[in-house]
């Protein structure tokens, strides 16, 4: 599949090196902290810290840091999700040493200048407002708010405006020092170089990063609340509907059956929901399902963007489609499994061909404690999934949805 070597270094860094015939080097560094690990008084702080990593270190000011990243001649980025904060650099393979050196400086030596914190607050507040203006993002935020009582999934990864405004140098630095430690860090590197050479470079720039005791809160896995709520928003043309379901405790085989079900129900342009809502009735331009199998998340959402006058009929169609699956009126046969196997193989091929995607994939597999070659196991396991497994998992998952409806005010 690919030539991978995984090793835990002396200070606790987990390093995954992938040797690939490529002209590029792709470095992904993930710290295992995201919105799920934040206390109630820390909402949005992981994302804020991510922004501040680009604002200066003990060696480089903001301008120098970003200039040197740009001078690598490739692409650099960062993102925060529920489980992690990730920095990435993709450049020519000859820039691997420089890429690792710069990222190591950001991970170990960020200084959170007060002047930069003030400016970045405005940037993040603009990002929050922008997401609020996007009805799709806004709808997903609202359904998460109503679906949970105590789970951290209730809160937006970006935090609220109130949260962001209170963060200062002290709070950001304390959070950074608590979680940005080598034994909470994962590095994946895709390059044409040997595993030994890649480790030499990583050791060179990270060897003085000292292991610390890692304190992490227990994450609450909370089932969604059965609820239907309507929100109103001014100056929008379309309305939206989202159903949210949670499913903790499924086996690997059950999750594979759910993948097949999700693809047939709403992931493809020939899916049940797409054909019923868009092709047959013309109710929706945008309709899909979103399945998140990440640890401590485990959600499946149904989303549709519709006109207000079609709201009630849309709800009836969604309810009927879900009910028909549970009552085994929608058929799953051998061809369905064959198609899913082909879809999975195609997705794997895309990942393997793209060095950047491959690096990101193995990084998250490692952070999540999963097998780097899990996709290979999934392909083998797919052959054993029968239609009864799909119907059984539908009866476990499709119960008591949290439903959010967004209408024009």
Quick one: pLDDT at residue 362?
97
Task: For 260-300, write each residue's pLDDT tens digit.
Answer: 999 999 998 889 999 999 999 999 989 999 999 999 999 99
DSSP 272-287: HHIIIIIIIT--EEEE
Mean pLDDT by 10 residues, the chain (409 residues): 94 97 97 96 97 97 96 97 97 98 98 96 96 95 97 96 96 97 98 98 97 91 97 93 98 95 92 96 95 96 96 98 96 84 88 94 96 90 90 98 95
Provide the token pair at 111.
Answer: 């200084």
Tokens of 123: 């940037």
With 0-12 CB in 10 A as exposed, 13-18 as middle and 19+ as buried, what is 177? Answer: exposed
Tokens of 326: 């549970």
Distance CA 148, CA 130 (A): 24
**pLDDT value at residue 90:** 97
The structure's pTM equals 0.94
**pLDDT confidence of residue 268:** 87
Which domains, from first to last, does the chain contain? 3-206 (3.30.830.10), 227-408 (3.30.830.10)
- The single residue listed with the structure tokens 């995984």 is 6
Q: Give residues with Cβ within 8 angstroms of 164, minimum separation 6.
A: 44, 48, 121, 124, 125, 128, 158
Find out whether 52 and 120 touch, Cβ atoms under 8 Å: yes
User: What's 184's DSSP letter?
Assistant: G
Report how far residue 149's alpha carbon sits from residue 130's, in angstroms, rounded to the nearest whole number: 26
Can you give the pLDDT at residue 341? 84
Q: How far apart are CA 307 and CA 240, in angstroms?
A: 8
DSSP H or E stretch at residue 393: helix 387-397
Pairing of strands 284-292, 185-191: unpaired
């Amino acid at each position: 599949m690919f030539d991978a070597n995984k090793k835990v270094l002396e200070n606790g860094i987990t390093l995954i090196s992938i040797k690939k015939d490529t002209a590029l080097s792709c470095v992904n560094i993930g710290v295992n902290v995201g919105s799920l690990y934040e206390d109630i008084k820390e909402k949005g702080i992981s994302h804020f810290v991510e922004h501040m990593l680009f604002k200066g270190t003990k060696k480089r000011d903001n301008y120098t840091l970003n200039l040197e990243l740009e001078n690598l001649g490739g692409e650099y980025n960062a993102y925060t999700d529920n489980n992690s904060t990730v920095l990435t650099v993709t450049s020519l393979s000859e820039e691997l040493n420089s890429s690792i050196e710069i990222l190591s400086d950001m991970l170990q030596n960020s200084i959170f200048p007060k002047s930069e914190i003030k400016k970045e607050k405005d940037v993040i507040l603009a990002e929050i407002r922008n997401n609020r203006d996007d009805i799709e993002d806004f709808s997903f935020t609202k359904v998460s708010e109503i679906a949970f009582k105590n789970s951290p999934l209730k809160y937006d990864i970006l935090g609220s405006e109130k949260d962001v405004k209170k963060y200062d140098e002290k709070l950001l630095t304390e959070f950074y020092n608590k979680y940005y430690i080598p034994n909470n860090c994962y590095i994946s590197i895709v390059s044409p170089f040997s595993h030994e050479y890649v480790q030499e470079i990583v050791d060179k720039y990270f060897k003085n990063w000292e292991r610390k005791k890692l304190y992490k809160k227990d994450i609450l896995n909370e089932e969604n609340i059965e609820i239907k709520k309507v929100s109103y928003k001014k100056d929008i043309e379309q309305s939206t509907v989202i159903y949210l379901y949670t499913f903790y405790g499924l086996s690997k085989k059950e999750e594979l059956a759910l993948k097949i079900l999700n693809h047939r129900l709403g992931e493809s342009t020939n899916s049940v929901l797409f054909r019923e809502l868009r092709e047959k009735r013309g109710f929706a331009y945008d309709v899909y399902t979103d399945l998140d199998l990440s640890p401590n998340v485990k959600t499946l959402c149904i989303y549709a963007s519709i006109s207000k006058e079609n709201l009630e009929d849309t709800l009836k169609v969604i309810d009927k489609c879900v009910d028909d699956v549970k009552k085994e009126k929608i058929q799953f046969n051998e061809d369905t499994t064959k198609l899913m196997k082909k879809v999975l193989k195609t997705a794997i091929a895309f990942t393997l061909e793209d060095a950047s995607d491959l690096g990101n994939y193995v990084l998250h597999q490692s952070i999540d404690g999963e097998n780097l070659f899990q996709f290979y196991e999934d392909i083998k396991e797919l052959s054993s999934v029968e239609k009864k497994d799909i119907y059984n998992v539908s009866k476990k998952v499709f119960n008591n949805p949290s439903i959010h409806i967004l209408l024009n005010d």
